[in-house]
Amino acid sequence: MIPRPTPEYVSGHQLLTGRRAVITASAGAGIGLAAATRCLEEGAASVVISDTHEGRLAAAHADLAERFGPDRVLSAVCNVTREDDVEALMEHAETVGPIDLMINNAGLGGTAPILEMTDDQWQLVLDVTLTGTFRCVRAAGRRMRASGTAGTIINNASVIGWRAQEGQAHYAAAKAGVMALTRSAAADLAEHGIRVNAVSPSLAMHPFLEKVTSAELLEQLKAREMFGRGAEPWEIANVMVFLASDYSSYMTGEVVSVSSQHA
């Protein structure tokens, strides 16, 4: 298959004018940083980026601040497996006003056949990917309720939550849990005017993925895509922007597949 070319980058249309966003796992070159960039391009008043890697986080902060202005970009180191870190992140975000948008991008994968998978491997992936998302949904939801903000929460799931893949039992279980969490949280928060949705990417290409995944496996994954290529991180972020914007005002509890995979 000859891969279809990547489309031209979509310019901003001020879909998030005045919003205040918090985004986890947003250093580096993946979906989180793309989401932060897109939010700023769409007119967000402020974006708080967080990550566990201090060096990459500082670099991302400096880059975004230079491009969009230092007053619109904040950052805080946050490990979503630690409740104190999550609370500190929310408090830092609220220094510039109530939180309107929470994007839960933090997740951890890995490959291990289930017969060899240890309890520690299982627990770490679940704690970062599922329980970490829960902690952030709870913390952001409480603050949105208290401030009366008709906020939006967006979780990052994965098509692997629907489709089996060898060596991915822990990650698949965690991402399926994120989907269920999204639907249930949406039901709990609807009365407060808070919407909760998720994106479910198949394959998003970025340098870190290429470092931890063999070239052979990446080619196999690309071959499953009808476009013959992985998505650019900004293509996933575009759907997050849609879910954060008023264009999706009647959507909550939904998991949107961002994929060109064959059925």
Which residues are catalytic, by number? 171
SS3 state of residue 195: strand
Q: Element (H or E) spanning 153, and its range?
A: strand 152-156
CB 204 within 8 A of CB 230: yes
CB 24 within 8 A of CB 50: yes
CB 183 within 8 A of CB 200: no
Name which of 24, 197, 204, 188 is nearest 103 in CA terms.
24
CB burial of 190-219 (b: ≥16 within 10 Å; e: otherwise) equals eeeebbbbbbbbbbbbbeebeeeeeeeeee
What single DSSP character describes residue 225? Answer: B
Sheet order of strands, 46-51 included = 73-77, 46-51, 20-23, 101-104, 152-156, 195-201, 255-258
Distance CA 90, CA 259 (A): 31
Distance CA 134, CA 177 (A): 10
